[in-house]
Amino acid sequence: MRHTLPIAPQFYVTAPQPCPYLEGRMERKLFTALQGDTSEKLNDALSKQGFRRSQNVLYRPSCGDCSACLSARIRVADFKLSKSQRRILRRNREVSRQATSPWATEDQFDLFRRYLDSRHADGGMADMDIFEFAAMVEETPIRSRVIEYSQSDEDGVSALAAVCLTDVLDDGLSMVYSFYDPDLERHSLGTYVILDHVSIAQDAGLPYVYLGYWVPGSPKMGYKAKFSGLEVYRNGAWENLSKDTDYTADTHPLSVDPIADQVAKITLPDSRPTKR
């Protein structure tokens, strides 16, 4: 199926496939291509409307009878560290950060494979080879960074501990994909990388850190609700996350608007290229 607005871009819908978050359900995505001189503007505008980037595609869930997936972001000005998050920062005092251009390395891929084999061996990325990994990192038409985190051992030897592919939006940082050393479970590196992105956003004067989707009822996504200042995109607007028990993963045949109505409600940016 294809649905279009009066001007580009064009929007498409994927065929249903098994949901990676909620067992026994099927997912479907609404997506559009990122290409040309207006890519950054389109990414900025659609990220504010619940879309996420994967290489040169922007997508958001559009399932037939389920609206559980909610785009989540941290409002940096209202973020406050919890006691457990302070402990995580102390535990990772020896971790160093380096931001680079979006370029894939063998060390990154080795860490990525170890992470998948340990945490997501049956996931959609389980069979990715080094060329597909390089495409995930390098095929970006917008301003992206690879942020590497390294840790030194007792002998002072530094090793890659975590990596995050991060997009720089006009209003924040979008954590496209992150992975970390599964042998360092005690260090809670997944949480640490998010905390560090909040710090980067604070230093850069950016108001938000986009975390991807939070899914009530999914154990994989529960950790996101532990961050203060969190808001989710629901019913066409951002709202403060209240108690996570106020959100449901129940299905209902009227929970999702028809595709044509969804596309009609999307706000597009000025189609003129950005001047540099």
In a domain, 274, yes or no: no
**For range 48-70, the mean pLDDT:** 94
Is the model's pLDDT at 176 over the cut of 90?
A: yes
Lowest mean pLDDT among 37-41, 56-60, 198-202, 248-252: 248-252
Shared-domain flag, residues 150 and 206: yes
Shared-domain flag, residues 143 and 59: no
Shared-domain flag, residues 28 and 144: no
Shared-domain flag, residues 128 and 32: no
pLDDT digits (tens, 9 = 90+) for 146-155: 999 999 876 6
Lowest mean pLDDT among 33-42, 99-108, 232-241, 267-276: 267-276
Write down the pLDDT at residue 6.
43
Is the model's pLDDT at 109 over the cut of 50?
A: yes
Whole-angstrom distance, CA of residue 170 vs CA of residue 45: 9
Q: Which two tokens stand for residue 53?
A: 């980037």
Write down the pLDDT at residue 32.
96
In a domain, 271, yes or no: no
CA distances to 4, 125, 254 from 265, in Å: 12, 32, 17
pLDDT digits (tens, 9 = 90+) for 191-207: 999 999 999 999 999 99
**For range 151-163, the mean pLDDT:** 84
Whole-angstrom distance, CA of residue 254 vs CA of residue 182: 41
Write down the pLDDT at residue 73.
98
In a domain, 269, yes or no: no
Shared-domain flag, residues 136 and 58: no
Write down the pLDDT at residue 222.
84
In a domain, 273, yes or no: no
In a domain, 275, yes or no: no
Q: Which two tokens stand for residue 184?
A: 């360092």
In a domain, 141, yes or no: yes
Q: Measured in whole angstroms, how far is the alpha carbon of residue 227 from the centre of its chain?
A: 15
Shared-domain flag, residues 133 and 203: yes
In a domain, 10, yes or no: yes
Shared-domain flag, residues 126 and 226: yes
Q: What is the CATH number of the domain that holds 189?
A: 3.40.630.30
Mean pLDDT of the chain: 90
Is the model's pLDDT at 140 over the cut of 90?
A: yes
Is the model's pLDDT at 144 over the cut of 90?
A: yes
* In contact, 206 and 240? CB cutoff 8 Å: no
Range of the domain at 197: 73-244
Shared-domain flag, residues 56 and 81: no
Shared-domain flag, residues 185 and 236: yes
pLDDT tier for residue 226 given thresholds of 50, 70 and 90: very high
Whole-angstrom distance, CA of residue 178 vs CA of residue 97: 14
- How many domains are there within the chain? 2
Closest CA to 110 of 133, 92, 136: 133
Shared-domain flag, residues 148 and 48: no
What is the pTM for the complete model shown? 0.91
Shared-domain flag, residues 77 and 171: yes
Lowest mean pLDDT among 20-34, 73-87, 186-200: 20-34
Write down the pLDDT at residue 123.
65
In a domain, 272, yes or no: no
Closest CA to 94 of 182, 162, 176: 162
Shared-domain flag, residues 137 and 182: yes
Write down the pLDDT at residue 5.
46
Those residues whose C-beta lies under 8 Å from the C-beta of residue 131, and which sit 6 or more positions away, are none
